Amino acid sequence: MKTKLFYGIFIVLSMWGLYSCKQAEKPIKFAIVSDLHAPDLPDGRERMQAVVDAANAENVDFLIQLGDFIRLDSVSQPLQKVWDQYKGEKYHVLGNHDLDKYSKEEFVAGFGMPGRYYSFDKGDFHFIVLDGNNLFDEGKYIPYNKANYYVDSRKRAFMDPEQMEWLKKDLASTIKRCILFSHQSIDRAMNNGYDVRDILEAENKRAGFTKVVAAFSGHNHSNYTDVINGITYVQINSASYVWADCETQTEKRYPAEINDKYSLLKYSLTFDKPLYGIVTLDHNGLSMKGTEAKFLPPTPSEIGLPEKLGSFPLVSFIKDVFVDFKD
């Protein structure tokens, strides 16, 4: 009788162990897009539609956009309806241009965000959304508010101390691997990104394994991958264009009435189709399937632009990425 009971318990525990392992290995998939600037483009609605269609086709667990999205006005209402065609969970990151006409409080409330920074769990992973939209001037941190950030670039793109303290506590509160999202990149664009990286690296050291594995960002309308002290930083290219900050012969791309209506085209290099990524996470690692487009002519080389704008590659793609979870 004892033998039968022992074997019965053994079988139940074995089945539970197999079930638990199976549950732990269930992959998480999400779609990621950045810098749509949808209201400022003649085909902004079509670009958003393509991203939403891809998210639905891939049956992702959630869809996230990394800032510079749409506005809280009547022009953007049709765009919001397209976005809402994805019925799963959707997340927003604050971008600097989201705050050209609004305060953070207005934008957060308007799009139903939990806050300007927040976190959430999905499966075996912990996701953290950050806010780098702060000025630092004369020893004070000042939130971006209705385009007040058009000042010396050395004063822009800071993470405030209150948020950094929250980040420390949030990281310590979970045993899951962590993925971060921000508009400005922690590795290159945030002016106090080194302080943020110190927090991430300290948590990995405290945890005894690579707990913070990756950080995704937008803002620079470029694509690259950096690995700094074991953490992978992925720059997600704009879904729509590269900002060249010089005239790009847009009169050869669009008719005069389009250029007159959408003034940013004068300084932009638009893609022929939208860019986005599909990211899959499991116990082995992180993989992202990127997308590729072409520049609408005249291309960067045809107008004499270099391969990089500053330190950022001038490209029309999002490359595939794989991050191996070694520990």
Phi, psi of 206 (to 5 degrees): -65, -40
Query: In this predicted model, what pLDDT tens digit does every residue of 208-263 receive, in sequence order?
Result: 999 999 999 999 999 999 999 999 999 999 999 999 999 999 999 999 999 999 99
Q: Which residues pair with 317 in a beta bridge?
A: 292
- Show the domains of the chain with their CATH numbers: 28-324 (3.60.21.10)
Report pTM.
0.93
Q: What is the 3-state secondary structure (H, E, C) of 85-110?
A: CCCCEEEECCCHHHHCCCCHHHHHHH
The C-alpha angle with vertex 68 and arms to 65 and 73, in degrees rounded to 5, equals 105
Whole-number Å distance between alpha carbons of 227 and 153: 25
Classify residue 51 by burial, with Cβ atoms within 10 Å: 0-12, 13-18, 19+: buried
Cis peptide bond N-terminal to 274, omega within 30: no
Q: State the pLDDT at residue 24.
A: 54
Q: Looking up tokens 């729509």, which residue turns up?
A: 240
Asked if 144 contacts 122 with a C-beta cutoff of 8 angstroms, the reply is no
The reported pLDDT for the residue numbered 19 is: 36
Residue-wise pLDDT tens digits, 2-49: 444 444 444 334 434 443 444 456 899 999 999 999 999 999 999 999
Tens digit of each residue's pLDDT (9 = 90 or more) over 162-190: 999 999 999 999 999 999 999 999 999 99
| Three-class HEC string of 11-22 | HHHHHHHHHHHH
- Is the predicted pLDDT of residue 127 greater than 60, yes or no? yes
Say what the pLDDT of residue 327 is.
83
Tokens of 243: 């900002």
